[in-house]
Structure 1
């Protein structure tokens, strides 16, 4: 059977032809391999004087060989900023380590064009360890630098979009309520990702005020969608029936009946009566608010309740507190209590928060929020979750 008719015959013949064509290329002259390499090569004396350079680098920069060899030092090919960095950082490292790799520098062509490059340098020494030459490899980094700029631009755009979207999920300003000092704060853990924490304060038709604070599971666009739905539902449900238990029941009904999968959150909804400063709160699996009394006592307001959106028949509970003169009600999300302390070994926790709150009394809502903001900044990298704070004081 002819070779062309045998199974695999054509493929075997093609491989033989390719090998015959490639074999001569593998015997390239070493000088040509150096001169026409896909990267720049040069060698310098320990003082930086260039003693050898390949055609590739000369072509990038537009120099003739006799304009460079023996006439220029390598730092003279660099921009001013890269030259300073080379003299103050690279050269000392080379003397200590004998090699430095992956340096991002800029070289300058004859016509003034800047070329971003990645540079690797290694020192060749004699038998006694004395430096003889510095061998330098230069890689064209224009595509990489363009990619990095595009990546930075995309990240900045994502941060702008996230910031814009985040603002739509929070009230731009809080209304004034006669007889109350009101303050809020939002810590955004990731600048390029929308968080799920939220809060609001708004008037009801009967002269009372509705308020809520909560935390949606997840981050990003999906969490933003649930946050928007939650805020809209809470406000709408409060118009229909402002009783806090009824409001959470309606929200649970909306979130749990969802064909796209589970959507849930923790939330506290409250109604403030400005006539006697009584706040009635209903909890849906959220952290307990803190009541800071004017006499220096701080205590948790236990409202309990189950997560909102998980069970169709979830049960919620409520509690009422009366704000006396100088009292402050502090609502917050669990970014505070879940913050890591002691190099990440422990969580801040509710006991530490209670101790912290006790040290604040007596105070105003504005003072309390400023103190919490300072506390959050003190966690540093240990604070890796969004945190919302809403405070009311009489």
Structure 2
């Protein structure tokens, strides 16, 4: 009775079983696998090798990978193959084999549902990537305005294709002779970050329109984030914002920062220096955060770089890329232009490969060496 039950279990198991000789000749196969393939037992046992049941691609993989690994290791598991049924249809399967004495015992699992699930998962992921890309585009300016006497370049690198990042930037006219700009990074990723980013961008633009003082802009943003996202659902941002006013052959710049890496000024004389601003707390957590500003000027051949921390926190073979490394890198580019600077930094970012695991935004401004009003 026990032997009959065991035989019935073997023949009608929810998976396929077969036994083969070292040359692949099938010596035993269960009814389940025969039913999947549409073969009679006499058509298979002693007449076909396991490789004969595979598609052309499956045969190539079996001969070049599956069989050699099995011979070396004595067992192999979880290998995806395709069987060809008697009617020519294809059956995706997961195969595991073990060598016992001179017999290779193989178990075969139907992977049709798994493949369908994986394909559905792939479709869902691609849709999520499309949605994330569309949403990300709404959070970044489609283009930046032309400012007479100023070259502008920007770049955005998302760390993930299926998540909305928290980096943002913008440059916009406040009047005929004044322009506001900012660049920043909100906490978090995904839809939550998108909500904060959207509020941040529109708050800063609206504030600058009312009062272009960069410190006032940051205070207004701090008030908005503290009001909307304080408590257990804390959200915050870092940002650097500025005001551009043209002068004789360049621009007077007012910069203010809230917890953000300092801007980098690359001079026409070949020097480069960070523009540190005293104070400048994170934007959002504190009701009465402190912000300060500095004044500087960019003239012909000068370039001003704003960036998010993804650039200076990338992993390299020698550790984290940092502010000192960025300073030395950009100093070697001086003098440069906004476009040239962003192009070089884009190549630098690409060289980080998988070491670049955070979103990165760049905004560069420069005054051409030949300037006319």
Could you state the TM-score of these two structures normalised by the residue count of structure 2? 0.94
Counterpart pick for 2:43 among 64, 67, 81: 67
Report what 2:294 is aligned to. Answer: 319
Shift of 1:338: 1.3
Q: Is the 8 A contact 2:129 2:161 kept in 1?
A: yes
Unaligned 5+ segments in structure 2 are: 368-373
Residue-by-residue CA offset, 1:321-356 (whole Å, 9 max, x unaligned): 21111100000001111112236xx32111111111
Shift of 1:153: 1.2
Q: Is the 8 A contact 2:229 2:235 kept in 1?
A: no
Counterpart pick for 1:294 among 268, 291, 299: 268
Query: In terms of Rg, which structure is larger?
Result: 1
Counterpart pick for 2:115 among 128, 145, 148: 145
Shift of 1:187: 1.0
Shift of 1:206: 4.4
RMSD: 1.5
Q: How many residues align?
A: 362
CA distance in 2, matches of 1:387, 1:272: 23
Shift of 1:29: 3.0
CA distance in 2, matches of 1:27, 1:65: 21
Report what 1:248 is aligned to. Answer: 218
Name whichever of 259-268 and 75-84 sits farther off: 259-268
Shift of 1:86: 0.8
Q: Does 1:268 align with 2:244?
A: no
Counterpart pick for 2:197 among 224, 227, 242: 227
Q: Does 1:45 align with 2:45?
A: no
Counterpart pick for 2:357 among 384, 388, 394: 384
Report what 1:360 is aligned to. Answer: 333
Counterpart pick for 1:99 among 75, 94, 100: 75
CA distance in 2, matches of 1:147, 1:113: 20
Shift of 1:303: 2.2
CA distance in 1, matches of 2:272, 2:362: 17
Structure number with greater CO (CA < 8 Å, separation at least 6) is: 2
CA distance in 2, matches of 1:242, 1:29: 85
Unaligned 5+ segments in structure 1 are: 1-23, 126-131
Shift of 1:313: 0.9
Report what 2:31 is aligned to. Answer: 55
Counterpart pick for 1:185 among 155, 174, 179: 155
Secondary structure of residue in 1 paired with 2:265: strand
CA distance in 1, matches of 2:113, 2:305: 52
Shift of 1:283: 0.7
CA distance in 2, matches of 1:310, 1:30: 68
Secondary structure of residue in 2 paired with 1:242: coil
Secondary structure of residue in 1 paired with 2:228: coil
